[in-house]
Every structure is written in structure tokens, then in C-alpha cells.
């Protein structure tokens, strides 16, 4: 079964103390990332039990009270297809939790064009320009009804401090509001459940929640059917307007195994949580007397974590059963960001190009069988993995995003669950930026190396590098052969100032011949002795830096002009640079 790891968090999460307007206190520091501390409730093990709610319970779950909406966070992908055959639109949802294996955290939703009003309404929240990154970005999945539905689209995770023993609750007033004016209700959409063709609430479909069972009351909240619910929901008017694309149900199935909590507020401070959108008291308990309908959360090692949408955006999606014609002159992705998934088909022999300002994601293991030109951003894998192209060309305005989950163990072969890689069966012409980031589970260590690009022939090199900070003392070593581009973590910054320079040589000279704790001081090779081998490593990495945030240092593709020991003190402190490291672009 898939497991989860945590990912980064959005900025919309905050905490509110009852009676205070500020959220700049210690509690916010604890809660601001969508995490709530242990001790607010028992910590049951995550179990999956059949949902045994009655029809009355099922109806109650999805019919939202007019005062409090159910919440969800969703991102949608838009399908890129031949304009003449365009039928659906897509949204991408990037979660704060990632599945194990390839560390996937993205789900793509297909929106049906035969439910035009409902689809347009959903996209109005995804693409809302009055809110940074749209209305759904930063929201959370506020409800899981085990084996039935998972629901969102209604709330941002804003916490309220409660008296003991409750300690904390979620704020039902932190609602998603389309126009930013809470005094005006979100617009509703006319019910389209009866349109042709018939759409049923089967597993993997997406439908709109209703307010008090009113058929034309849908606005911002939606749900994913975790099972086949057509018998209980179709007759109640829940409009199915989309479905989970590709293998995205693997993510929702994993969400279905999370723990469930009651996080409704206790408004009168009597020690009992009041009715609200963050728990369904009518749902039955499972065989272990655990709740089956409430707020889903992950049992972290030290913290419990809500399911938050880091970003929701409309994209062009090329997935299973979709065929795209590529003319001889090539196909340029310029309208919006694009994701190429397993199972898509291309006809024709022309190249693909990602335009400046656009992102292209390609599922791990996909072989395009054609040339790829990058003027925007290429992100291999979803999230980690390798891709294959014929000839790879990255221009001055292009960027290659590489994520690292682990290093290849010594003596073993690369596995595409470890880090991103681009493999070109022909040539690779490089320019622009190389941007590297770490997955949360990765702990960088000296000696780790990464071959991020291979080709029959590599021409040129990246102009700039955006590299994450390494542990103190470690620096990035960047090297290139005619067929491979490599990154390696090396211990060579002996004084831990973020760059390899003359002060590190002085420390080596002053301690040469001595014994130290392996891998400390000026012991670059970790053998416990400061000797000439450590000088050779220092020399080979002269000018290299800890990362983007490492002060005045700059990255170096090759070491150059480094003096021999006898003349080293005659050289001013500095670095000879062939490439530069700079801050990541927003």
C-alpha cells in the first residue's frame, strides 16, 4: 500500500485565537503549515473499514447546510488536444502529501464539456484572478467519508485555539469566497445532472455538493466518489461533471486510509465540539469505534497533518487514450502548462517545444520518441523519474527542474525513483538554468552523486545554477563529460563559510599531518587524517559553494587557477567562475 510523506505548504494557512485579531503568536508558528499537534485527540492507527452509513446518512453527508460549506482543495488539468477534437478540460491538483515510490503528489481531473455550466463554475474558482493562484490553492480536503467520498473546495485551514482538552479546532468562517466579499454568497449553478449523455456517480467521478438537497444550489464544494455510489446519489441530483484522469485514484485511495477527526469548534467553551462542517455525527463508527466521516489527517511522527492543496491550476493534459497530431514543423505548447502522461499517443514526426513562461511535466518512464526543445521549464517525472527524448535542446530562456529523493547507493544502478533524469538518445545542447530541489525525505550527504542528464553527445552547458543549500562543510561539484552531466556532494568547505576558498586551504595547511574525527576539519576524504589527498579534493573544488543561499560564493563548472601549496598564500581569496549560482526565480 502506498505511504505518504509531507511536502511544502501554502501561505494561506493561519491560526486565529478567539478574541484576538492577530495571528502572529506562538500558536500560529505551530499551526501555520497545516499541522496540528498531538494530544488534541486520541491517535488511532489508520485503518480502512467499510462505510455502513444509511441512505439518510449518505444524503446528510453531501447536502451542505446553508451556513457552513464543506471544504476541499483541488487542482485541475486542462487537456491539450487537437483543437478540432477538443472535448474536455483538465485541472491539476498538487497536494502537500506525496505517495511513496515516485513521490507523486499531483492528481489530474478531467472536466466534461457536456456539463458546461458546472465545468465553467468549477474553473472560475481554479482561475480566479482576484486571489493569488486561484481560489482552491491553499484550501484543504475537509471531509472524508470512508469508502464513500472525499470532499473539498470550501475552506482554508485556519485554526482556532480551544480550551483543554480540545486545544484546537478549525475555523468554519475561513471559507472560499469567489469575489472576496463574505457578505455576498458564492454564485450557484443550475443543476445539470439530467443532461445527455447520462453521467453517473461511479468510482472516480467528480460531482458537486448541494445545499440542503436543493438541486440548483451547487457553488464551490465538490467531491470525488471513492466507490460506486450511483444507486444512492444519482436520484438525488448530484451533477457529475468530471472524473479523475490517469492513475490519479491511487492518490485518493491512499487518502481513504487516513485517520479521521472531529475538528468542529466549541463556540461556547463547554468542552464539547458543536455541530459543523468538520464532522458528521450521523455516520456510524467502524468496528474499532473510530469515526468514519470527518476531517482526514495523516499521523506524522511528531505532528498530525491535514490534506492541503499546494496549488490548483488549469493545464493541458495528454494522457491515456488521447492522440495528438504533431506536424512536421513541430508542435509548440504555449497556451498553458502541459503534462504528458503514460499512455498518450503522438502521430507525425515533428518535434515538441515548450514555450517561454510555460512548464512541461512528463510522467516518469515516458519516451517521447522525438526531439524536445525547451524555452520554458521542463520537469521530468511526477514528481521523481526519468524521461527519454531523441535530441534535447535547452535555450537561454529554458530551465531544467531536477528533484532529488535519494542518491544511487554505491555499486548499484540508477533507479528512477531516486532522482530526475533526462536521457537523450541523440545529442543534448545546453543553455539556460539548471534548478535542483530536494524532496523532504532526502538527507544530503558527502559522496552522493547524481547523473541528471545523459546523451550521445552533450554540447554547451547550463548558464546558471539554482542549487539548494547543503549541510555545513559540503559543496556542490558540477562536472560534465561528452555524454553525461553530473552533480556530486563533496566535503571541501573546511571552515563552513559556504564556499571553498583560501581560508579552507589555510585550515588544511595548519592541520596537515594531524588526526581528526573522520569527515571533520580539513579531512575531505573522511579517513580521519589531514593529508595531501584532502588538499587534492580542496583544489578540485576551489570556488564551489554550498548552495544558492551560501553568501557571496558562486558555483563553478571546473576548477581553474588554483595554486600549488608552495604559492597558495600569494593568491588573494576568491573564486574563478565559469558558471554562476543565483537565487531561484519566482
Give the pairing type, strands 88-95 and 106-112: antiparallel
pLDDT band at residue 310 under the 50/70/90 scheme: very high
- The pLDDT of 532-545, averaged and rounded, is 95
**Burial label, 329 (beta-carbon count in 10 A; 0-12, 13-18, 19+):** exposed
pLDDT band for 213, please (50, 70, 90 cuts). confident
**Alpha-carbon separation of residue 369 from 177, 323, 348, 364, 451 (angstroms):** 45, 14, 11, 14, 21
Per-residue confidence band for 555, with pLDDT thresholds at 50, 70 and 90: very low
The arithmetic mean of pLDDT across residues 338-365, rounded, is: 96
pLDDT band for 388, please (50, 70, 90 cuts).
very high
Residue of higher predicted confidence among 555 and 299:
299
What gap in Å lies between CA 565 and CA 495, rounded to an integer? 18
Tell whether the model's pLDDT for residue 396 goes beyond 90.
yes
For residue 447, report the phi and psi dihedrals to the nearest 5 degrees: 100, -20
Q: What pLDDT is recorded for position 549?
A: 52
**End-to-end Cα separation, the chain, in angstroms:** 35
Contact, 156 vs 176, CB < 8 A? yes
Using the predicted structure, report yes or no on whether residue 266 has a pLDDT greater than 60. Answer: yes
Using only C-alpha atoms, the chain has a radius of gyration, in whole angstroms, of 27
Residue 546 has pLDDT above 70, yes or no: yes
pLDDT of residue 526: 95
Q: Provide the pLDDT confidence category of residue 87 given band limits of 50, 70 and 90.
A: low
Residue 104 is predicted with a pLDDT of 83
Query: How sure is the predictor about 11, in pLDDT bands with cuts at 50, 70 and 90?
Result: very low
Q: What is the pLDDT of residues 419-448, one digit of tens each?
A: 999 999 999 999 999 999 998 889 999 999
Name the pLDDT band for 101 (thresholds 50, 70, 90).
Answer: confident
Q: How far is CA 500 from CA 353, 448, 482, 532, 584, in A?
A: 38, 18, 26, 16, 22
Domains of the chain, CATH where assigned: 4-38+52-310 (2.40.100.10), 319-462 (no CATH), 497-586 (no CATH)
User: Does 191 have pLDDT greater than 60?
Assistant: yes
**Average pLDDT of 196-222?**
96
Q: Does the pLDDT of residue 559 top 60, yes or no?
A: no
| The predicted structure's pLDDT at residue 299 | 86
Q: What is the mean pLDDT of residues 25-41?
A: 29
| Secondary structure element (H or E) that encloses residue 117, with its range | helix 116-126
Confidence grade of residue 545 (pLDDT, cut at 50, 70, 90): very high
pLDDT of residue 146: 97
Q: Does pLDDT of 175 surpass 80?
A: yes
Query: What pLDDT is attached to residue 36?
Result: 30
What does residue 531 show for φ and ψ, rounded to 5 degrees?
A: -145, -170
- For the chain, what percent of residues have pLDDT higher than 70? 79
Q: How far apart are CA 483 and CA 427, in angstroms?
A: 9
Mean of per-residue pLDDT scores for the chain:
82
Mean of pLDDT values over 403-431: 94
Read off the pLDDT of residues 221-256 as tens digits, 9 standing for 90 and up.
Answer: 999 999 999 999 999 999 999 999 999 999 999 999
Report angle CA 161, 166, 171 to the nearest 5 degrees.
45
Segment among 69-73, 461-465, 532-536 with least mean pLDDT:
69-73
- 253-262, 358-367, 435-444, 543-552: least confident range: 543-552
Greater confidence (67 vs 141) lies with 141
Question: Phi and psi for 83 in degrees, rounded to 5?
Answer: -50, -30
Question: What pLDDT does 550 receive?
Answer: 42
Q: What is the mean pLDDT of residues 77-103?
A: 68
pTM of the shown model: 0.80
pLDDT at 307: 96
Gap between the Cα atoms of 50 and 458, Å rounded? 55
Q: Residue 83: pLDDT band by 50, 70, 90 thresholds? A: very low
Note the pLDDT of residue 19.
32
- pLDDT band at residue 558 using 50, 70 and 90 as cut-offs: very low
Helix, strand, coil: what percent of the chain each, to 5? 10, 30, 60
Q: How far is CA 418 from CA 103, 404, 510, in A?
A: 10, 6, 39
Rounded CA gap, 465 and 432, in Å? Answer: 9
* pLDDT on residue 102: 75
Amino acid at each position: 500500500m502506498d505511504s505518504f510523506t509531507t511536502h511544502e505548504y501554502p501561505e494561506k494557512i493561519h491560526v486565529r485565537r478567539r478574541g484576538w485579531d492577530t495571528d502572529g503568536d506562538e500558536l500560529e508558528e505551530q499551526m501555520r503549515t497545516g499541522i496540528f499537534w498531538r494530544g488534541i485527540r486520541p491517535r488511532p492507527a489508520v485503518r480502512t473499514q467499510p462505510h455502513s452509513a444509511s441512505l439518510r446518512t449518505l444524503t446528510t453527508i453531501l447536502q451542505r447546510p446553508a451556513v457552513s460549506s464543506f471544504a476541499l482543495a483541488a487542482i485541475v488539468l486542462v487537456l491539450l488536444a487537437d483543437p478540432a477534437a477538443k472535448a474536455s478540460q483538465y485541472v491539476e491538483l498538487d497536494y502537500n502529501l506525496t505517495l511513496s515510490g515516485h513521490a507523486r503528489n499531483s492528481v489530474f481531473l478531467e472536466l466534461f464539456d457536456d456539463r458546461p455550466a458546472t465545468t465553467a463554475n468549477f474553473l472560475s474558482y481554479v482561475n480566479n484572478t482576484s486571489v493569488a493562484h486561484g481560489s482552491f490553492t491553499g484550501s484543504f480536503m475537509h471531509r472524508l467519508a470512508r469508502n464513500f467520498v472525499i470532499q473539498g473546495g470550501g475552506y482554508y485551514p485556519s485554526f482556532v485555539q480551544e480550551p483543554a482538552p480540545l486545544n484546537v479546532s478549525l475555523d468554519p468562517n475561513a471559507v472560499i469566497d469567489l469575489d472576496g466579499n463574505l457578505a455576498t454568497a458564492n454564485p450557484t449553478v443550475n443543476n445539470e445532472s439530467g443532461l445527455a449523455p447520462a453521467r453517473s456517480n461511479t468510482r472516480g467521478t467528480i460531482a458537486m455538493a448541494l445545499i440542503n438537497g436543493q438541486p440548483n444550489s451547487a457553488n464551490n464544494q465538490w467531491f470525488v466518489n471513492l466507490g460506486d455510489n450511483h444507486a444512492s446519489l444519482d436520484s438525488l441530483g448530484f451533477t457529475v461533471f468530471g472524473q479523475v484522469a490517469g492513475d490519479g485514484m491511487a492518490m485518493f485511495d491512499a487518502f481513504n486510509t487516513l485517520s479521521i477527526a472531529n475538528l468542529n469548534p466549541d463556540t461556547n467553551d463547554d468542552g464539547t465540539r458543536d455541530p459543523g462542517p468538520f464532522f458528521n455525527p450521523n455516520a456510524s463508527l467502524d468496528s474499532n469505534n473510530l469515526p468514519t466521516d470527518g476531517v482526514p489527517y495523516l499521523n506524522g511522527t511528531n505532528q498530525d497533518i491535514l490534506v492541503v492543496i499546494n496549488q490548483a491550476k488549469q493545464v493541458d493534459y495528454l494522457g491515456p487514450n488521447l492522440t495528438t497530431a504533431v506536424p512536421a514543423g513541430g508542435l509548440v505548447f504555449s497556451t498553458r502548462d502541459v503534462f504528458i502522461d503514460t499512455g498518450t499517443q503522438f502521430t507525425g514526426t515533428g518535434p515538441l517545444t515548450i514555450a517561454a513562461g510555460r512548464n512541461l511535466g512528463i510522467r516518469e518512464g515516458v519516451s517521447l520518441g522525438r526531439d524536445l526543445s525547451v524555452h520554458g521549464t521542463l520537469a521530468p517525472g511526477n514528481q521523481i523519474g526519468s524521461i527519454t527524448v531523441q535530441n534535447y535542446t535547452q535555450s537561454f530562456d529554458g530551465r531544467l527542474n531536477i528533484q532529488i529523493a535519494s542518491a544511487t547507493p554505491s555499486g548499484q544502478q540508477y533507479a528512477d525513483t531516486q532522482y530526475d533524469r533526462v536521457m537523450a538518445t541523440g545529442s543534448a545542447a545546453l543553455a539556460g538554468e539548471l534548478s535542483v530541489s530536494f524532496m523532504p525525505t532526502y538527507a544530503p550527504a558527502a559522496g552522493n552523486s547524481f547523473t541528471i542528464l545523459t546523451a550521445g553527445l552533450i554540447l554547451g552547458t547550463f548558464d546558471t545554477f539554482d542549487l539548494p543549500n547543503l549541510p555545513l562543510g559540503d559543496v556542490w561539484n558540477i562536472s560534465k563529460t561528452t555524454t553525461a552531466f553530473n552533480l556530486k556532494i563533496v566535503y571541501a568547505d573546511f571552515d563552513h563559510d559556504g564556499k571553498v576558498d583560501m581560508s579552507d586551504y589555510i585550515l588544511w595547511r595548519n592541520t596537515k599531518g594531524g588526526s581528526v574525527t573522520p569527515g571533520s576539519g580539513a579531512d575531505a576524504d573522511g579517513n580521519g587524517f589531514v593529508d595531501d589527498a584532502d588538499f587534492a579534493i580542496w583544489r578540485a573544488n576551489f570556488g564551489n559553494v554550498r548552495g544558492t543561499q551560501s553568501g557571496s560564493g558562486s558555483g563553478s563548472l571546473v576548477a581553474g587557477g588554483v595554486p600549488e601549496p608552495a604559492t597558495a598564500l600569494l593568491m588573494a581569496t576568491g573564486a574563478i567562475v565559469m558558471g554562476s549560482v543565483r537565487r531561484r526565480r519566482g
